[in-house]
Structure 1
């Protein structure tokens, strides 16, 4: 039910609210959070920023891997999964696909929805880096005590190139 609500909200929000300009502070803040999750965490396996960027009750929905509930479980999955693979996997944001939609309550900004597309690449010993696939993603961010926290994320529509 929670996923259905989130999905419906994402679809509806795209029609009700305009995305913010890529020059706005909100866009830059969310893109910085995205970089901590992917450029630092996912791509280098430096998971230290995850302790601060994810809410304790973070939920991750993956169309191939199921649901992961909780920040601790998500970090553990990363440590025991992608970070232990022999082949290096990295994620790159597809240019010009990142969109950020603000969430307001009575005119006060309390959150944002980020969505876009990302491409995945693999590096194997003795081989050139190659693209393995592409997918869509959505992340719900809440502003908690002045800091952006990722509360839910969806990674879906995975397919090869």
Structure 2
């Protein structure tokens, strides 16, 4: 009697997993991740929309930075800190940053039923107030994007190999 119940539970779990996330493939996957990456980082560095940033993160979002250590262990406190930074950016002489993906460095590694690991290089620009923008740094990154019912969510971020650019 137990064997049929175990088999039914196993088949149900496999069916639910298969239905949870049907990943796009090839160019469609690349286009989806390029779009999600560009939107998230433009919002984070140049925009100021905490509510939208929150919708792009999994609740258990984690971020690790080789210079800053453990940046986040959950989305809510991360978004709260981002919101404070948004207020600072409103000052006329505030420092403003921009992140740019280095063309040709993005690689994608799909994980069936989950999402995709994105790796690449990025560079960072800064300017004070309305002053001139200058290239100030470069780094590498690895991130996990989860495909959920309502779209792509950033779940894990590793930002490392940071170097200043002179």
Judged with a 3 Å threshold, the aligned counterparts in structure 2 of structure 1 residues 28 and 83 are, in CA distance, closer, same or farther, namely farther
Judged with a 3 Å threshold, the aligned counterparts in structure 2 of structure 1 residues 83 and 101 are, in CA distance, closer, same or farther, namely farther
The number of residue pairs the alignment matches comes to: 136
Partner of 1:8: none
SS for the counterpart of 2:51 is coil
Root-mean-square deviation (Å): 1.9
SS for the counterpart of 2:114 is strand
Partner of 2:121: 117
Are 2:99 and 1:91 aligned?
yes
SS for the counterpart of 1:95 is coil
Partner of 1:69: 73
Are 2:47 and 1:44 aligned?
yes
Judged with a 3 Å threshold, the aligned counterparts in structure 2 of structure 1 residues 53 and 149 are, in CA distance, closer, same or farther, namely same
- Distance in 1 separating the partners of 2:28 and 2:97: 30
TM-score by length of 2: 0.74
Match of 1:103 among 86, 111, 118: 111
TM-score by length of 1: 0.76
Q: Shift of the alpha carbon at 1:60?
A: 0.7
Task: Return 5+ residue gaps in structure 2 as ranges.
Answer: 1-24
Judged with a 3 Å threshold, the aligned counterparts in structure 2 of structure 1 residues 118 and 72 are, in CA distance, closer, same or farther, namely same
